[in-house]
Structure 1
Amino acid sequence: MIVRHLEDRIGTENDVATYTWNSRRLLLEEDGVGFSLHDTVIKAGTETLIWYKHHVEAVYCIEGEGEIELTETGDKYPIREGMMYVLNGHERHYLRGTTDMRMVCVFNPPCTGREVHDEEGAYAASKA
């Protein structure tokens, strides 16, 4: 059994921050459960290009408002508390925070913990 508290991850190597988001990694590849779990804050007034070409991501918004826009179609979906989306087709997208948004994110394959988006908006492929 694994038990962790968010406050114990904040300010550690498991708290990865960029200009547009801050991801507190709660479960990682090394935990051996087949997925990773992140508590992520998307910062208000920011836009991030994301393309998880090597991962499937499920996202559940627990706080805040924003928008996801698919780059291929231009389709836009408002994000608010209680909304969930899954990037099961590896959709390239823009993620915009109108306010700070707090998101619970699940990745398969699991992340190692230090990932940040590359120039294409992707995380590197898992080496496992």
Structure 2
Amino acid sequence: MIVRTLKDCEASDRRVKSDNWESTRMLLKDDNMGFSFHITTIYAGTTTHIWYKNHLESVYCMSGDGEIETISDGKVYKIEPGVLYILDKNDEHWLRGGKTDMKMACVFNPPLSGKEVHDKDGVYPVDDSVSG
């Protein structure tokens, strides 16, 4: 069994920060669960281009507000507590923080290894190394 607290993970190298967001990666590839689990904060008033070409992601909003805009069709979806959005087609999108920081619970498949940040195209690289 694996047991971790958010507080302990935030005080470790599992916390990764960017200009627009921070992500505490609570479950990673080396945990051998087949997915990774993160608590991510999207800062208010920010816009981030994201395109997970190599990953599928599900995101549940726990607090805050914002919106997601899919680039392929320009559709905009409001994000608020209780909303789950699923990037099931590697959807390229804009993620915008609203008036307050958004706290999100995120699941990635394949799992992240821990230090990923978006490249110039909004993509996380694939970690092809073997866990174990």
Q: How many residues align?
A: 128
**Alpha-carbon distance in 2 for matches of 1:64, 1:27:** 23
Aligned AA (1:73): D
How far the C-alpha of 1:12 sits from its partner, in A, is 1.7
Aligned AA (1:126): D
Q: Does 1:13 align with 2:16?
A: no
DSSP 3-state at the match of 1:114: coil
How far the C-alpha of 1:14 sits from its partner, in A, is 0.4
Matched ranges for 1:92-103 at <5 A: 92-98=92-98, 99-103=100-104
Map Cα deviations across residues 54-106 of structure 1 (whole Å, 9 max, x no partner).
00000000000000000111000000000001000000000000020000000
**Alpha-carbon distance in 1 for matches of 2:52, 2:80:** 22
Matched ranges for 1:39-50 at <5 A: 39-50=39-50
60-69 or 3-12: bigger deviation: 3-12
How far the C-alpha of 1:126 sits from its partner, in A, is 2.6
Match of 1:123 in 2: 124
**Alpha-carbon distance in 1 for matches of 2:80, 2:91:** 20
How far the C-alpha of 1:125 sits from its partner, in A, is 1.5
**Alpha-carbon distance in 1 for matches of 2:92, 2:7:** 31
- The normalised TM-score by structure 1 is 0.98
Task: Say what the alpha-carbon RMSD is for the aligned residues.
Answer: 0.6
- The normalised TM-score by structure 2 is 0.95
**Alpha-carbon distance in 1 for matches of 2:71, 2:126:** 21
Match of 2:62 in 1: 62
DSSP 3-state at the match of 1:9: helix
Match of 2:78 in 1: 78
Aligned AA (1:123): Y
**Alpha-carbon distance in 1 for matches of 2:127, 2:56:** 12
DSSP 3-state at the match of 2:120: coil
Match of 1:22 in 2: 22
Extract structure 1 runs of 4+ deviating beyond 4 A. Answer: none
